[in-house]
Chain A
Amino acid sequence: MVTGLAALALVSGAGLRVYARQQPVPARGAAPTLTRPASQSKTPDANGFLQRWLILEPIRVPAQLTDSAVQAAVKKEYFPDQLSVMPKDGDVVTVGGEPLVWHAVDTSAYNVNLFHFAYALNKPTSNVLFWAVTVVNAPRELAGVRLAIGSNAASVWWLNGVEVISLYNDRQAVIDDGVSKRVTLKQGPNVIRAGVINAGGATDFCARFLDENGNPVKGITVSLRADAK
């Protein structure tokens, strides 16, 4: 639900239950689960979760999570080449006259806590769209695998420019909530891109690749360069 914002209505969501007016909450320090990457590449954790991402500071969007509203929100062009650009840490885009920065992060958890991310930057956490990008490097072509994600709340996901998952409505980041059809990871870099929309309260996502048996794909690494070897 709504946090940190004035809200009178009984607004609901995968966040805070709201029966009364909300007031701004005090700022906090650095995101406790996120750090800047300190290496060129990173192996997924034991359960296959991708723990290195580039995340753009949040874009304000309407608090609507229906199928059509989410699709409209992620298909709207906020900055040039938003569905194809491979940003670098510190790159800045301008959205609605506001400069927004891409941040490279490693998460210490299975998920990426977007609330921690935005809150630490004194950015809004409710009624926002987060763009996240990472690169999975496959040692060889891996056919018949699936991208498996969870998100709080709605999200749309692309693999190498092809939309493969969409989750709508208010929801929690349940592991493997959304799973793609069988896809092929080509040898070398593969770009995963996500747009995650939060209406209020907590917001996060998790992502991994699963093999035919539903087990985490092994042998891949994660970097933040599409030209990585």
Chain B
Amino acid sequence: MWCHNPETHLGEPQLQFTASKCIGCGRCKPDADTLDAEPDELLTDPSGQLRHYRGTCQSGALRKIGRLVSPEDVLREVIQDRRFYENSEGGVTLSGGEITTQFEFARETLALLKANGIHTAIETNLTARWDKLEILLPLIDLTIFDIKCMDSAVHQAWTGIPNSTILSNAKRMSEQRTPIIVRTPVIPGFNAEQEAMRTIAAFIRDFKNLVYYELLAFNPLGADKYKVLGIPYRMENAPVVGEETMRLLQQAAAAEGVETRIA
């Protein structure tokens, strides 16, 4: 519910309407052809107006978020910056959403990047089965994953799923050679407590391949995206996590002997 990329939840392109960009050209008005339109070409905007996506909106008011790309398309784009990766020891990170929900694409793309000598990383929530994650491991140079909360019941109340698979996968990740970065999004009311950070830090303390642990403070920047997608934003009234709070949480985690950064 705090995700900044709600457009990735459906796993396919979806329509978005931004009223402030509309110039009133009328090209998305329903017409005779609307009767034959596919469902994903129709959107009812917040004012109740039906809009027919015909690919003709130039203002960007009515647009499809997301596009279909092949692994080759990705390579063609990212390889333009190859020299920047080489000089900075950087590379390409597959993120989301959750990349394992597009598993084959992720696997092929990572393979193509590796074949071209590009450093690869993935960001994942570790909810996939281990046997799938294991397939990707030889293609990854760095894994970044979230651990949000050690208490499974609380985890389920806030995310909809328990954390047992996540923790199990995290343990297995720690036994691999691939370096890992562990992150925790700090969400008020959910896990923005020193004890919560301490227990996570204690869990990952002995991970030999841990590069560092990172805390990300919640902020409401994603709110507008929910609005234009017509999705309720349940974090509307959530407070911003202040600098002092983040510092205390960092200290609590670091006290477990884990290098802890604030993003």
B is a partner of A = no
B contact residues vs A (CB 8 Å cutoff): none
